[in-house]
């Protein structure tokens, strides 16, 4: 079960609530959910000096890749027009807020896609110890983009390691 919301009067926000996390190559109702989400994202309208801010929220502690949930499993080609200037993705372990119209159903997963100014700062995580930084990574999103393309770009360009120790826990990136 899912609910996708976009408002033609505000072409800068898309939200998806779901009882299950979007999987790679979904089947059945999840396939329909992905199609609905893709259509809504393609209607987002970027403006000058904007980029995409996406947040995945769930209390679930399953091991998962954030970029897969928010980008790759949706289909990277739908983000081309709104990610020309980059993107910001975040993971939130907060309880999923119910949609305004449906307080009865319990949705365990929430996607938020929003067109924001390029200077948007993360809202779901707090700065802690910086383990590594990347700057000026050339990233082009297309329907042929794969997660390893982004990881390879991160490996090649302006990587600065600030810690040599092992880290146990969650990581955040911006």
Q: Is 23 exposed, middle or buried (0-12, 13-18, 19+ CB in 10 A)?
A: middle
From residue 60, how far is each of 78, 140, 145 by CA, in Å?
Answer: 26, 31, 27
What is the pLDDT at residue 27? 96
Exposure string over 46-61, b if 16+ CB within 10 A, otherwise e: beeebbbbbbbbbeee
What is the pLDDT at residue 62? 86
Look at residue 141 and tell me whether its pLDDT is greater than 80: no
Whether residue 155 is contained in a domain is answered as no
Q: Is 3 exposed, middle or buried (0-12, 13-18, 19+ CB in 10 A)?
A: middle
Whether residue 141 is contained in a domain is answered as no
Look at residue 174 and tell me whether its pLDDT is greater than 60: no
145-167 pLDDT, tens digit per residue, is 777 777 787 777 777 777 776 76
Tell if the pTM clears 0.85, that is, is over it.
no
Whether residue 151 is contained in a domain is answered as no
In sequence order, the β-bridge partners of residue 124 are none
Domain region containing 43: 2-121
Range 100-128 average pLDDT: 85
Range 27-46 average pLDDT: 96
What is the pLDDT at residue 162? 74
Q: How many domains does the chain have?
A: 1
Whether residue 70 is contained in a domain is answered as yes
CATH code of the domain containing 12 = 3.30.1330
What is the pLDDT at residue 106? 87
As a whole number of angstroms, the distance between CA 161 and CA 129 comes to: 12
Whether residue 15 is contained in a domain is answered as yes
Range 56-78 average pLDDT: 91
Whether residue 173 is contained in a domain is answered as no
The residue among 64 and 113 whose pLDDT is bigger is 113
Range 100-112 average pLDDT: 87
Whether residue 138 is contained in a domain is answered as no
Range 28-50 average pLDDT: 94
């Amino acid at each position: 079960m899912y609910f996708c919301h976009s408002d033609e009067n505000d072409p800068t926000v898309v939200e998806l609530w779901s009882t299950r996390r979007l999987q790679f190559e979904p089947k059945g109702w999840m396939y329909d959910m992905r199609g609905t989400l893709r259509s809504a994202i393609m209607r987002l309208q970027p403006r000058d000096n904007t980029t995409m801010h996406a947040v995945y929220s769930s209390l679930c502690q399953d091991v998962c890749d954030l970029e897969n949930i928010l980008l790759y499993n949706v289909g990277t080609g739908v983000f081309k027009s709104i990610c020309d200037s980059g993107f910001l993705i975040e993971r939130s372990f907060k309880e999923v807020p119910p949609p305004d119209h449906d307080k009865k159903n319990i949705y365990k997963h929430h996607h938020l896609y929003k067109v924001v100014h390029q200077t948007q700062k993360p809202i779901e995580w707090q700065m802690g110890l910086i383990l590594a930084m990347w700057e000026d990574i050339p990233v082009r999103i297309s329907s042929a983009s794969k997660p390893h393309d982004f990881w390879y770009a991160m490996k090649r360009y302006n990587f600065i390691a600030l810690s040599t120790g092992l880290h146990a826990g969650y990581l955040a990136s911006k």
